[in-house]
């Protein structure tokens, strides 16, 4: 059996990210690539971003949280990626699409943690107890894999297809909300592009965070106090281009917006 050239693929992914040049699907060229190796690639690229660009890890994102996307990628659980200081943009920011490859946007609920969450064995109750506040969040995803031709190994290696994220105008105590029923409206250039509700993220956004804490716990890792956790898309993602204005609003939480230039 052919072995996977981890170092070479890490380097390819890092360059694709740096140069905005997509690469052919890893899973196509290396069908033996395992999910564990894909996470290894993700961590390699992350280490290089920290080392060479001084990026700091400020949180995590959970992806593949909807039934539809799980079926598309033929998996039965979500995946995760890392959020770094270089990925954060301010509410209302202008984002240059020239710095991205094939960006898409989605609306989510972000959790800001006030206590560490160390799995396994954590429940929704632990997540709510450890949460300082929840915030509206626009995640801008992008794929360093050509034309989004991704299998689960490709997106995991590519940091769960993450690119940028924007936290919105409000921070709300999750005890005030029925998070599964929080409605989300995504408007693109003033028109409703998609809507969803909290339950789209693994049945309940806090359930997605518990999944992540328990999964990381299996590797001896924890979610840390102060980290931002993006709990998963609440509706289908929408492609964006220069000139687009995008706004999301979340019932009982608040809103966030970005424009693309």
Partner 1 sequence: MALDRQTIEELALHLDGAEQQARAVAKITDAFPDMDWQDAYAIQDAIRELKQARGVRIAGLKMGLTSHAKMRQMGVVEPIHGFVTDYGAVADGGEIDTRGLIHPKVEAEIAFVTRRALRGPGCHVGTVLAATELVLPAVEVIDSRYENFRFDLKSVIADNTSSARYVLGGRPHSARGLDLKNLGVVMERNGRIVATASAAAVLGHPAQSVAMLANMLGARGREIPAGTLILTGGVTEAVAVEAGDNVNVRFQHLGSVSMRFV
Q: Name the residues that contact partner 1, by CB under 8 A.
A: 67, 178, 180-185, 191-192, 195-200, 203, 234-235, 249-252
∠ Cα 140 37 203 (to 5°): 50
Q: What is the DSSP letter of 2?
A: P
Least separation in angstroms between CB 245 and partner 1: 16
> 217 vs 251, which CB is nearer to partner 1?
251
The CA distance from 221 to 162, in Å, is 20
Least separation in angstroms between CB 25 and partner 1: 30
Least separation in angstroms between CB 195 and partner 1: 4
Least separation in angstroms between CB 183 and partner 1: 3
> 30 vs 247, which CB is nearer to partner 1?
247
> Which DSSP helix (H) or strand (E) runs through 151?
none
> 33 vs 193, which CB is nearer to partner 1?
193
DSSP string across 73-123:
TT-SS-EEEEEEGGGEE-TT-EE-GGGSSS-EEEEEEEEEESS-B--SS--
Least separation in angstroms between CB 167 and partner 1: 17
Least separation in angstroms between CB 185 and partner 1: 4
The CA distance from 223 to 118, in Å, is 6
> 65 vs 155, which CB is nearer to partner 1?
65
> 158 vs 187, which CB is nearer to partner 1?
187
Residues 6+ apart with CB under 8 A from 182: 109, 197, 198, 205, 250, 251, 252, 253
Q: Is the sign of the CA dihedral 184, 206, 228, 48 positive or negative?
A: negative
> 203 vs 217, which CB is nearer to partner 1?
203
């Amino acid at each position: 059996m052919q072995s996977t050239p981890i170092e070479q693929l890490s380097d390819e992914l890092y360059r694709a990210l740096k140069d905005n040049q997509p690469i052919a699907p890893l899973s196509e060229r290396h069908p033996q690539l395992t999910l564990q190796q894909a996470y290894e690639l993700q961590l390699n690229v992350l280490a290089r971003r920290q080392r060479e660009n001084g990026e700091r890890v400020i949180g995590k994102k959970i992806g593949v949280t909807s039934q539809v996307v799980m079926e598309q990628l033929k998996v039965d659980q979500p995946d995760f990626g890392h959020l770094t200081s270089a990925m954060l943009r301010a509410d209302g920011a202008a984002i240059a699409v020239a710095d991205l490859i094939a960006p898409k946007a989605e609306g989510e609920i972000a959790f800001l943690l006030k206590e560490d969450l160390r799995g396994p064995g954590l429940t929704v109750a632990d997540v709510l107890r450890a949460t300082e506040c929840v915030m509206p969040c626009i995640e801008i995803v992008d794929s360093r894999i050509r034309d989004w031709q991704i299998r689960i190994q490709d997106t995991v290696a590519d940091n769960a297809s993450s690119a940028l994220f924007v936290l919105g105008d409000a921070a709300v105590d999750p005890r005030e909300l029925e998070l599964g029923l929080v409605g989300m409206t995504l408007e693109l250039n003033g028109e409703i592009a998609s809507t969803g509700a909290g339950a789209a993220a693994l049945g309940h956004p806090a359930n997605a965070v518990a999944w992540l804490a328990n999964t990381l716990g299996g590797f001896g890792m924890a979610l840390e106090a102060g980290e931002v956790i993006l709990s998963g898309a609440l509706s289908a993602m929408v492609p964006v281009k220069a000139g687009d204005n995008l706004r999301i609003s979340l019932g009982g939480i608040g809103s966030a917006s970005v424009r693309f230039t």
